[in-house]
Homo-oligomer: A and B are copies of this chain.
Amino acid sequence: MAQPDFDLRDFTPYLLAVAGEVASLEFAAVYKARYGMTRSEWRVLFHLGRYGPMTATEIGARARLHKTKISRAVRALELKRFVSRETLEEDRRSERLALRAPGRAAYADLGTAAAAFEARLEARLGAEEARDLRRMLRRLADLD
C-alpha cells in the first residue's frame, strides 16, 4: 500500500459527499413528499421565488445547474402550473420564466421549511461554527 496512513475520513471530497448526501436527502424528502419535486426543480423554483423572473440561462449561472437539467425542470414545473413562460420580444430564442400563484405558495412553504431546517442545523453545530462552515463551503464552491 502506498500511504497506509491516509484515511478516507480525512479526505475532504469524501466528507463533502457524505455530509451533502445526508443533508440534501433529508431536505429532499420534504419537497419530494409535498410536491413531487426533484432537486433541480427545487433549485429552479427557489431561484425564481427568491430573485424574481429570469431566463433559463440566468438560472443556470446562479443555480449552478446544467442547461438540460433546467430545461427538464422547467417543463416539470410548468406541468405543475408552478411557472409560466413568455418568449422575450428582444430575443425570441429565450423566454422569461416566472412563478405563478401555486408556485409562489410552494416557494413560501418550502422556504419556511428550509429556514427551519437550517435553524436545526445551526443548533446542532453552534451558531459560530455553522457560520464558519458556510464561509468555507462558499470558498470551495467558488461562490464568493
Contact = CB atoms under 8 A, between A and B. Distances in A.
A117 B22 contact: no
A137 B12 contact: yes
A11 B137 CA distance: 11
Contacts of A127: none
A21 interface: yes
Interface residues of A, number: 59
Interface string A1-33: 111101111111111111111111011000000
Contact of A11 (B6, B7, B118): B118
Task: Determine the main DSSP class of A at the interface with B.
Answer: helix
B141 A111 contact: no
A64 interface: yes
18 contacts: A1-B108, A1-B111, A2-B111, A2-B112, A4-B50, A6-B50, A7-B50, A8-B46, A11-B118, A12-B137, A13-B26, A13-B117, A17-B39, A18-B137, A19-B20, A125-B136, A129-B136, A132-B136
Interface of A: 1-4, 6-24, 26-27, 39, 43, 46-47, 49-50, 63-64, 104, 107-109, 111-112, 114-115, 117-118, 121, 124-125, 129-130, 132-134, 136-143
Q: Which 5 pairs of residues, A with B, have the shortest CB-CB distance?
A: A2-B108, A15-B137, A20-B20, A16-B20, A13-B23
